[in-house]
């Protein structure tokens, strides 16, 4: 928040009778043309006189980092590019900017493996920045473990050989790790590098950049100017004074991840789902034929089990109610309780709007009840920690298109 583009979005949304569009310059087949991008809400207002699903639509179209910035990362002039890949600790897999990470990984792979003694100057480098660390139950976690875990999840997200120049665990809210990050960024950017901060919407990028600016001694917030990047005139913002010398720091618009549940929720529903305080576990001991619901958003079924029971720990916003019951009653739950007792969605008519309800199957094995064996993470919501001694077949139900992954457990 507190960034220019939010003000612009709000202005575009509020002045419905006057300006309803935002002019942007886009490059198409080598030719520049001016195009007016109209936000979905304004379009609705103008054409139908109503706002359908108020606030559920993004105000601005998604920012295509790969197309807009990709070609500039390998700068022939020798100015080093550094990409800050931001991921939210409370929704790592959902928020991780994997398309951009893939781009960085591919650039490295194209260069081969003969750069053990430092990356070639024109190869983009990347730092992984895990934000909102204060949301994790930090006293019970070892920073080294979280560090290694985040590194391996980033590699999985990039789907390739992602070489990171470092991993930083930060909390802008608490000021944890901000100084170290700033020092490292300055060192890697050198005297005239270009630094690009990239992350999903709401990952905490603005808050972090403001914290970095404060840390570098800038009073009253950093100076923001529109950056002269073709095709992104309105979108990319240069943050001045933070890096010193001639190095430049660019803030890019938050990426819209359709695979994050939050991206299809209304503002009111998002408030229930977003985690704002240190996460607390809610644990159930379940038998085959039993299920746990997280609001009307997700259901986990214990389908088969080689042992008596399994421990399922829910890590999600405390404002979302949980329900444990028999799997055979699950269909009735959708019909009678989704959108009512089980919120979000708020209101029964929103259930269909969220999409088709689909199942994904996971096989999990483990050898301890005390230590979780696997997480099943739902993008934009949270995760289930699974603890068992034996093997389980689990069914995970959610709306079609929401990413669900099984991963090594975090907690």
Where do contacts with ligand GDP occur on this chain (CB under 6 A)?
1, 131-132, 134-135, 171-173, 199, 201-207, 254, 276
Q: Which of 326, 358, 328, 323 is nearest to 338 (CA)?
A: 323
Pick the closer one to ligand GDP by CB: 201 or 264.
201
Tell me how far, at minimum, the Cβ of 382 lies from ligand GDP, in Å: 14
What DSSP string runs through 69-84? THHHHS-TT-PPEEEE
Q: Are strands 81-88 and 194-198 parallel, antiparallel or unpaired?
A: parallel
Residue 138 buriedness (CB in 10 A; 0-12 / 13-18 / 19+): middle
Q: Which of 38, 93, 104 is nearest to 69 (CA)?
A: 104
Q: Dihedral sign, CA of 128, 133, 139, 141?
A: negative
Pick the closer one to ligand GDP by CB: 20 or 59.
59
| Region of residue 339 (left: phi > 0; alpha: psi -120 to 50; beta: else) | left
Tell me how far, at minimum, the Cβ of 146 lies from ligand GDP, in Å: 14
285 alpha-carbon distance from chain centroid: 30
Pick the closer one to ligand GDP by CB: 86 or 300.
86
Q: CB of 81 within 8 A of CB of 194?
A: yes
Pick the closer one to ligand GDP by CB: 4 or 106.
4
Q: Report residue 103: phi and psi, to 5°.
A: -60, -45
Pick the closer one to ligand GDP by CB: 2 or 159.
2
Pick the closer one to ligand GDP by CB: 193 or 204.
204
Tell me how far, at minimum, the Cβ of 279 lies from ligand GDP, in Å: 10
Tell me how far, at minimum, the Cβ of 12 lies from ligand GDP, in Å: 17
370 alpha-carbon distance from chain centroid: 29
Pick the closer one to ligand GDP by CB: 124 or 204.
204
Tell me how far, at minimum, the Cβ of 289 lies from ligand GDP, in Å: 38
Tell me how far, at minimum, the Cβ of 273 lies from ligand GDP, in Å: 12
Pick the closer one to ligand GDP by CB: 201 or 293.
201
Both tokens of residue 244?
A: 């010193």
Say which DSSP state 135 is in: G
Tell me how far, at minimum, the Cβ of 226 lies from ligand GDP, in Å: 17
Tell me how far, at minimum, the Cβ of 394 lies from ligand GDP, in Å: 30
Collapse the DSSP code of 395 into the 3-class scheme (helix H, G, I; strand E, B; otherwise coil) and give the result.
Answer: strand
Both tokens of residue 308?
A: 């008596």
- R_g over Cα of the chain: 22
Tell me how far, at minimum, the Cβ of 60 lies from ligand GDP, in Å: 12
Pick the closer one to ligand GDP by CB: 44 or 202.
202
At a CB cut-off of 8 Å and minimum separation 6, what does 214 contact?
none
Residue 303 buriedness (CB in 10 A; 0-12 / 13-18 / 19+): middle
């Amino acid at each position: 928040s507190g960034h220019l583009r939010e003000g612009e979005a709000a202005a575009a949304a509020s002045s419905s009778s006057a300006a309803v569009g935002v002019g942007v310059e886009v490059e198409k087949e080598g030719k520049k043309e001016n195009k007016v991008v109209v936000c979905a809400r304004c379009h609705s207002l103008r054409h139908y006189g109503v706002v359908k699903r108020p606030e559920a639509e993004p105000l601005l179209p998604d920012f295509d980092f790969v197309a807009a910035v990709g070609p500039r990362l390998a700068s022939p002039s020798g100015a080093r590019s550094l990409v800050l890949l931001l991921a939210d600790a409370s929704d790592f897999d959902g928020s991780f900017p994997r398309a951009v990470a893939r781009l960085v990984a591919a650039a490295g792979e194209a260069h081969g493996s003969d750069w053990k003694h430092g990356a070639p100057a024109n190869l983009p480098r990347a730092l992984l920045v895990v934000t909102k660390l204060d949301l994790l139950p930090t006293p019970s976690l070892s920073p080294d473990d979280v560090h290694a875990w985040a590194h391996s999840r980033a590699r999985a997200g990039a789907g390739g050989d992602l070489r990171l120049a470092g991993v930083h665990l930060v909390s802008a809210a608490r000021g944890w790790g901000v100084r170290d990050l700033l020092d490292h960024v300055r060192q890697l950017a050198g005297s005239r590098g270009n630094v690009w901060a990239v992350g999903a919407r709401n990952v905490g990028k603005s808050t972090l950049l403001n914290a970095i600016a404060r840390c570098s001694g800038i009073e009253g917030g950093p100076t923001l100017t529109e950056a002269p990047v073709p095709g992104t005139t309105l979108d990319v913002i240069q943050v001045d004074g933070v890096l010193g010398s001639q190095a430049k720091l660019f803030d890019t618009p938050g990426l819209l991840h359709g695979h994050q549940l939050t991206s299809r929720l209304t503002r009111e529903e998002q408030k229930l789902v977003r985690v704002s305080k240190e996460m607390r576990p809610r644990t159930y001991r379940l038998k085959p034929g039993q299920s746990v619901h997280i609001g009307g958003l997700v259901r986990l079924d214990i389908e088969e089990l080689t042992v008596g029971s399994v421990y399922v720990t829910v890590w999600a916003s405390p404002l979302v109610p949980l329900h444990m019951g028999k799997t055979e009653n699950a269909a009735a739950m959708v019909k009678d309780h989704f959108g009512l007792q089980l919120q979000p969605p708020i209101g029964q008519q929103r259930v269909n709007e969220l999409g088709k309800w689909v199942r994904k199957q996971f096989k999990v094995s483990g050898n301890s009840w005390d230590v979780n064996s696997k997480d099943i993470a739902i993008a934009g919501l949270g995760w289930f920690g699974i603890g068992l001694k034996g093997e389980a077949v689990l069914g995970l139900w959610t709306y079609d298109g929401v990413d669900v992954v099984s991963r090594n457990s975090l907690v």
